[in-house]
Amino acid sequence: MAQARLIGLVAQDCPNVEIIVQGHSDPSGDPSANLRLSQKRADEVLRRIGAAGIDVTRFRSVGLGSQEPSRISGSQSSAYYDRRVEFEIREIRGNAAASGLHRTLSPAASACAAQLQAAVAQTKLFYSPRSITAPSDGMPAVVQLASQASACPDARLRVIGQFSDEPGSGETPATARLRAVALMSSLVGAGFDPEQIIIAAHSTPQILAGQPGLSERRVDFDVILE
């Protein structure tokens, strides 16, 4: 629910989007009952977002039953991951041009963004098995990334936690998120603005194109342009 409320808060500053709250169920049981259950899940999440004092006029809940399996693999059964609520962001195109959503970056912003993206492509943190503590030898490069992002207009740094799904690794999607959260906490503790850093954790391990041997126990970075 903390993540759901965060989406609601960010949406207050995005008048050009509609947020679809999607309820899902596992495939067991009666399909019509599952459809109703998934709708109730979406409705309840939306109710709790509104109960936090967040404007939900641009939110819409929909139940999808079991028609869209999560396809997530982890320590639990597949049915566990199917019983979920997800969010889809849809742009309201009619207002996009008027709002300046696709505005052109200034030359200065474009230059520093290009430099930041180049630095991001070269920076990764590799972790010991099951560890969420950032390796100290990799932190100088990460601090440099955060410094570049802070000095770059219209750019933010996204921290992407990864985990290994190898048999016996003892890692789960929660490991990936904790890595991202712990790293963000370290950067905030070093004096960086928490609004400058976005956390995103993949639910499945990501193998980078052209780098099949790269360890999945890592944190990657990306640049968000605003």
183-225 confidence digits (pLDDT tens): 988 898 899 988 788 876 555 566 655 555 568 899 989 888 7
Among 3.40.630.10, 1.10.1520.10, 3.30.1330.60, 3.90.950.10, name the CATH number for the domain at 107-225: 3.30.1330.60
Cβ neighbors of 47 (< 8 A, separation 6 or more) are none
Of 55, 74, 73, 44, give the one whose Cα is nearest residue 7.
55
DSSP string, 68-94: S-----SSS-HHHHHS-EEEEEEE-HH
For 141, list phi and psi in degrees, rounded to 5. Answer: -65, -35
Q: Where in the chain is the domain with CATH 3.30.1330.60?
A: 2-99, 107-225
pLDDT tier, 103 (very low <50, low <70, confident <90, very high otherwise):
very low
Greater confidence (84 vs 13) lies with: 84
pLDDT tier, 107 (very low <50, low <70, confident <90, very high otherwise):
low
Tens digits of per-residue pLDDT, 211-222? 555 688 999 898
Fold (topology level) of 2-99: 60s Ribosomal Protein L30; Chain: A; (3.30.1330)
Report the share of the chain in percent with pLDDT over 70.
85
pLDDT of residue 63: 92
Cα–Cα distance measured from residue 221 to residue 33, given in angstroms and rounded to the nearest whole number: 42
pLDDT of residue 54: 80
CA distances in angstroms from 17 to 79, 112, 154, listed in the order given: 31, 28, 19
| pTM, full prediction | 0.53
Cβ neighbors of 83 (< 8 A, separation 6 or more) are 24, 25, 26, 41
pLDDT tier, 146 (very low <50, low <70, confident <90, very high otherwise):
very high
